[in-house]
Every structure is written in structure tokens, then in C-alpha cells.
Amino acid sequence: MNWADFASATVATMRREIARRPYDNRLAALVDELRASDGDVARWWDDHAVRDYASVAKRVQHPASGPMSFDIEIVRAPHEPEQRLVVYTTEPGSPTARVLPILAGWNAAPHP
């Protein structure tokens, strides 16, 4: 539901990573490939945004359960900047919180 916002933020994060790793040829090639194959990625790249966020909201349209809302927190270890812990949470009692156990149960192994 806010896919374009999230996708453009991801491109802005890739721009930050390119700046942090100017000699990473694989990352540069990936960015070039994405820009060449996707007009949205090219446009978002060309707006020169850089993003480094710690909190963000994400809304998705699940094919079976409908709209779902998550709050995302991104935590970095102070002495290991390459490590990130990404935590998705929901508001207690929200429609998303109520449907998650049902969705999780779809793939659970049957009890004997």
C-alpha cells in the first residue's frame, strides 16, 4: 500500500551504501542494472536522496487477509556497523495483530 514510499527509501539507502563503499563493483553493477531496467529506480536514483532511517511504518496489502500495518525498527550494533537487527511490530489488538497468528498457523505442522 505504501510500496512506492518503501521502494524509494530502499533506493536512497542503496545510494548511502554506494557512498560508503565506492570501490564495491558488484554493488555499482547492481545499481546500474536496476536503473537500466526500472524507470522508477532510475527516477528515484536521480533525485539524489540519501536515507538512513531507524524507524519506518510499512503498510502491505496481503492477498488473503487484506491491509496490514507494521512499525519497523532498525537497530545497529555500535561496534559492528554492518550488522542490523530489523524488528517488525504491530499495535496490540490491531487488525494486523489479530490476523498474524492465523497466517502463521497456515504453515504450521499438524499436531499428531
Dump pLDDT digits (tens) for 44-94. Answer: 888 887 776 677 788 888 988 899 999 888 888 888 877 888 899 999 999
Distant-in-sequence, close-in-space partners of 19: CB < 8 Å, separation ≥ 6:
50
Which residues, in sequence order, are CB contacts of 70 under 8 Å at separation 6+?
57, 58, 59, 60, 88, 89, 90, 96
Number of domains in the chain: 2
Do 65 and 35 sit in the same domain of this protein?
no
Domain boundary among 30, 51, 72: 51
Mark whether 59 and 103 lie in a shared domain. yes
- Identify whether residues 34 and 57 lie together within a single domain: no
* Structural domain range at position 74: 53-112
Tell whether 59 and 90 lie within a shared domain. yes
- Domain boundary pick from 13, 34, 51: 51
* Residue 111: pLDDT over 80: no
Please indicate, yes or no, whether residues 111 and 60 belong to a single structural domain of this protein.
Answer: yes
